[in-house]
Amino acid sequence: MTRNAVQKTRGISDAVLALPESATHGAAAKLVALNSGLAPEHQIIDLSIGALDTPTDPRIDQGVIEFIRTRSDMVHAFAPVKGFPFLRQSIAARVNRLHGISYDPDSEIMVTPGGVKGSISVAFHALLNPGDEVVIPVPNWPHYSDMVRLHEAVPRTVLVPARDGLTAPVLEEALSERTKIVVLGDCINPTGKIYSTGELSALARVLAEHNRRREARGESPVHVLFDTPYEAHVLGERAKTFAGLDVALADGSRCSMRPWTVSVTGPGKTYGMHGDRIGYLCGPPDIVEASARAQVNLTSFASTYGQIATHIALRPEMDEVATARARTARANLEAMLRELEAVPALKVSRPQGGYFLFVDLSSHADAYRKHGYVTAEQFLLAEAKVATICGSHFAEGEELDHFVRINCGRSGALLTKAGTRIRHVLTRLET
């Protein structure tokens, strides 16, 4: 009897049993075990989990220490469900500086535990009913689909090209009468796709026309979850955030996306605060209120320590820290890219943003299959001693076994070493 079958007899939820194992959580411990006793030159280099090596700015730590020294009563007391008022004000100011859009800290902003994943979860709790559909362009972060299923809704994944992302005609085709949410973002994991204002506006027109028809029938609109954990890693021209779009419709009227958009992000990828597990969402007051009602019954409120650290990180003088971290990560990505571009048959596209490379190794698939490897991830782990994430994790049901996501948030020296290993094993395959 399989493990799932045994658990089913114990009454474990079908939704939980249907979830795949996480591609990243637990990977570090497995790699430590694999590397145990190996000489440094033979140890596996971990380019799987998507954290940056750049240390968190020490001013954040010092600020938390000073807050604890002077305000320990607040640190150890209950916090408001939506987050400390001073943090919500800092969030409002940061969003305004970055995107030029104003949110009311009292009614349109909410802080969540569990990082951005916590914000997505409470937004799903607020909006999804069993059977609702969520349109998810893929390749994309795999947990969207898992979280949708946990809410007894249905993920509708749509395979899109990395360069184009989701387009208006494809979105029009994907929408149905059961669609409740469309997942979008400004810098996509793993492809690095960055949507322009024009591309987002085209999508907004489709949604606006669709929602006009729905509202005329007295039905719920389609909402947009605009997920932006990599917003600091957009170093070129920044598109208008989705909630700030106001588009012209076929009848000459205009329509704002703000009433239908929930924007979520957090300090993890921006300031290196992954362990603080703080997320925040900005959206219409009724959705924020519904999300808070869900959160108070799930996790109450976010850690006070994490909220204080995030408040310090979001101060205006720290904006340059976020940009500097992104520039360092991008420079390190270029180090890896140089190594991979030296392999003639390898298809490597420079991502528009972020610090991931999504690499197509299908030109080498026949060769490494002859050596018994089913996926590119398996081949690179065994032969190059480099841990990546298989492309199939990012596009459920699609044939992306010969793609890998490479985290270039590591140091330049380590990436050069890993890139050299990959280049050498691929060159050997070619010859």
State whether 16 and 145 are in the same domain.
no
- Residue 212's SS3 state is helix
| pLDDT at position 151 | 94
Supply the pLDDT for residue 29: 77
User: pLDDT tens-digit profile of 47-82?
Assistant: 998 889 999 999 999 999 999 999 999 999 999 999
Q: Which residues pair with 224 in a beta bridge?
A: 182, 261
The pLDDT of residue 24 is above 80: no
pLDDT digits (tens, 9 = 90+) for 164-176: 999 999 999 999 9
Q: Do 305 and 381 reside in the same domain of the chain?
A: no
For range 33-48, the mean pLDDT: 87
Q: 8-17, 144-153, 342-351 — which is least confidently predicted?
A: 8-17
CA distance 21 to 421: 28
Kindly give, in sequence order, each residue whose CB lies less than 8 Å from that of residue 234, ignoring residues fewer than 6 positions away: 186, 187, 194, 353
Q: What is the pLDDT of residue 36?
A: 85
- Backbone dihedral region for residue 353 (phi beyond 0: left; psi -120 to 50: alpha; all else: beta): beta
The string of pLDDT tens digits covering residues 419-428 is 999 999 999 9
Q: CATH number for the domain including 217?
A: 3.40.640.10
pLDDT confidence bin for 3, thresholds 50/70/90 = low
Q: Are 347 and 162 in contact (CB under 8 A)?
A: no
Pairwise pLDDT comparison (44 vs 31), residue with the higher score: 44
Instruction: Summarize pLDDT for 285-324 with one digit per residue, the tens.
Output: 999 999 999 999 999 999 999 999 999 999 999 999 999 9
Domain edge (last residue) among 294, 318, 342: 318
- Average pLDDT of span 155-166: 96
- Report which of residues 31 and 370 the model is more confident about: 370
CATH assignment at residue 350: 3.90.1150.10
Question: Domain check: are 254 and 278 in the same one?
Answer: yes
Mean pLDDT of 116-127: 98
The full length of the chain comes to 431
How far is residue 115's CA from residue 274's CA, in Å, rounded to a whole number?
8
Q: For residues 103-133, b (16+ Cβ closer than 10 Å) or e, as one string? A: bebeebbbbbbbbbbbbbbbbbbbbbeeebb
**Based on the domain organization, do 250 and 337 belong to the same domain?**
no
Give the pLDDT band of residue 123 (cuts 50, 70, 90).
very high
Do 277 and 394 lie in one domain? The reply is no
pLDDT (0 to 100) of residue 51: 86
Contact 358, 403 (CB under 8 A): yes
> Given 318, 351, 379, which residue is the final one in a domain?
318
pLDDT band at residue 35 under the 50/70/90 scheme: confident
User: Same domain, yes or no, for 28 and 85?
Assistant: no
Do 95 and 195 sit in the same domain of this protein?
yes
d(CA 373, CA 181): 38
Closest CA to 406 of 388, 384, 419, 424: 388
Work out the mean pLDDT of the chain and round it to a whole number.
Answer: 94
Q: Are residues 400 and 417 in the same domain?
A: yes
Closest CA to 261 of 324, 184, 147, 313: 184
Q: Could you give the angle at the alpha carbon of 360 between the alpha carbons of 224 and 142, nearest 5°?
A: 35
Q: Both 326 and 314 in a single domain?
A: no
Arithmetic mean of pLDDT, 388-400: 90
**42 and 123: one domain?**
no
Q: Which of 264, 294, 318 is the last residue of a domain?
A: 318
Strands 133-138, 389-390: parallel, antiparallel or unpaired by DSSP? unpaired
Helices 285-296 and 115-127, packing angle to 10 deg? 110
Report how far residue 373's alpha carbon sits from residue 378's, in angstroms, rounded to the nearest whole number.
Answer: 6
At 10 the pLDDT is 83
> Which uninterrupted H or E stretch holds 265?
strand 261-265
Joined tokens for residue 261: 């958009």
| Confidence at residue 316, expressed as pLDDT on a 0 to 100 scale | 98
Domain count, the chain: 2
**Residue 284 and residue 173 share a domain:** yes
pTM above 0.85, yes or no: yes
Helices marked H in 280-318 — which ranges? 285-296, 304-313
Same domain, 159 and 101: yes
pLDDT of 20 above 70: yes
pLDDT at 344: 87
pLDDT tens for each residue of 210-246:
999 999 999 999 999 999 999 999 998 999 999 999 9
Task: State the residue range of the domain holding 418.
Answer: 3-54+321-430
